[in-house]
Chains A and B, each alone.
Chain A
Amino acid sequence: MMARILIGLIAGLIFGVGLALSGMLDPARVRGFLDVTGAWDPSLAFVLAGAVIVSALGQAWARGRATPFFDKQFDWPATRPVTGRLIAGSALFGIGWGLVGLCPGPAIAGLSLGLAPIAIFAAAMIVGMVLFTLLPVRAR
């Protein structure tokens, strides 16, 4: 258990430093990246490119192993089917992301910057997650 907690802490820390270095913590830059028909700032596409490349290498490593180092099994989410629930949720998320320029990782890591707007957004985001738990929705 201690090893798993330590892995969680290290992974979270690397993730948070990566967000800070990448520019993803800055809502103004994120909205500039999303403004493809305006003053488009393409730099954040490189965040996704770097992350997906390294993530794919990590997954290839994981597939070569029967189990992870500190747990019994790999917890791979389902890759199919594409459902209405998946699309509806992703659309709502995209609207919220576009409105403010914050997605869940930067909203949490950004709390360390001590800015009131990020704290308000993160609090509303948690409320949104709590509201979801109160709904009787189908799996997936």
Chain B
Amino acid sequence: MTAQPWLPVDALVREAVRAPLDAAVRRWSARWFAGRSVGVPRLAAVPATERPRGDWRVYRRAAAIDCSRQARTRIADLGLDCSLDRLTLGEADRRLVDAFEREVLRDLSQTVEDALGVLGDWRPAPETPAEPLGRLGGATAGLADDRGAPLLTLALPQACLLPLCRESLGPPRPGEEPPGSRVRALASTPVALEAVLGQAEVALADLKALAPGDVLVLDTRLDGPALLRVAGAGRPVAEGVLTQDEDALALKLK
């Protein structure tokens, strides 16, 4: 069992997260795509119950990239400034383009994760995750150029977005009063105690024959103690001799 920080997914989708992400993606696009600036116009919250559609790969730690055929072609087109669909590539060229795409995407996840301040476990890259957002949900970031043409989508798990999100929320407000004593808080909790005078061992055969008027002799002596215990639990909390209190039976504790 590991405890993870948590916020409602729609709280993760805020300008304080989008803006640095957008800036990072623009730096990345400036490195790879001459003259075409790509940014993150908006984030969309994805609840834990939904799995965003995509051909997801994790290149580094946490951010998953939708590496559909379409997205990869767009990357190569932008990076190489041509239209690959119209070209017939040989095996060697195809491999070169694949390596290029892979490097661009690896750099994207590094840029994004550095900008988000992500600390996570390394994964062998690229890995195909079954749940790109993990079990807590998160957000998707659609990358698009300045004319609004989509490039690809990032899936950012909750843990990825939390550091920036927390930072923008500021530190928690200190409580107005310090926590008080647990024992004092418990003081008014009612506890049901049952008093047991004693017990008698009865053979099963005798049990069947028991009738009004019969006397069961208990294992407690007249000067011996009855037990007081928490109702339903086994261990006695106190013992005492029988006495009376305003016409009611009572125990005087020893």
A binds B: no
- Chain B residues at the A interface, C-beta cutoff of 8 Å: none
